[in-house]
Amino acid sequence: MSYKIITPAHLRSMRILSGLSRYELGVLMGGVPDSEVRVLERSSCLFSYDGHLKILVELLGQVDRALDIKIDVVTKTNTPYLFCYPNDDQFRKFEPILAKWMQFNSAHLAFTARLLDALAVGYGRFPTVVEIDQESYADFLAGLPDTPDKRIGWATLDYIHTVKIREGLPRRRVMA
């Protein structure tokens, strides 16, 4: 999908699609205060921030590519769970590669919501979204390295009573 920011409405829509708050978008734009992002979303002259706004377009392009990859992985492996994290620190700890370019847990939650929609609509699959509980998961690992199979084992086995099912993810409206 190709993204273009032509009007302030496009900027706001793309920010919401990415899952970023105004503050987080401001950080990605090089430290622009969230009050200026709010003004940008209502302004008629976005051209002064054109270079900064390309960051948002690139982020959404990367999200689209990552969605394609993740959909392939989930559908081929029949993964029963998708994992999310309670905050930015946990997201960065457990997903360092994604965190390099997504930077914020809110963007990962929006990514997960889009992934759930794509899996439900396109493939009829409905994996459970589980929030990683660092203490419970660390006990389960007992010093062993983290792997996708171990996360699934943790969510499935005797730690199920401590697993927090993540309800109410931000969901896009899917048109049938």
What is the pTM for the complete model shown?
0.81
Residue 31 and residue 102 in one domain? no
Q: Examine residue 72 and state whether it is found in any structural domain, yes or no.
A: no
pLDDT digit of tens for each residue in the chain (176 aa)? 666 666 777 778 888 888 999 999 889 888 888 888 888 888 766 555 666 678 888 888 999 999 999 999 999 988 888 999 989 999 999 999 999 999 999 999 999 999 999 999 999 998 888 888 888 888 889 988 998 889 888 888 755 555 556 665 554 433 33
Q: Examine residue 94 and state whether it is found in any structural domain, yes or no.
A: yes
As for how many domains the chain has, the answer is: 2
Residue 13 and residue 97 in one domain? no
Residue 175 and residue 88 in one domain? yes
Specify the CATH number for the domain of residue 31: 1.10.260.40
Among 52, 124, 132, CA closest to 94:
132
List pLDDT tens digits, range 57-98. 888 899 999 999 999 999 998 888 899 998 999 999 999 999
| Domain enclosing residue 12, as ranges | 1-62
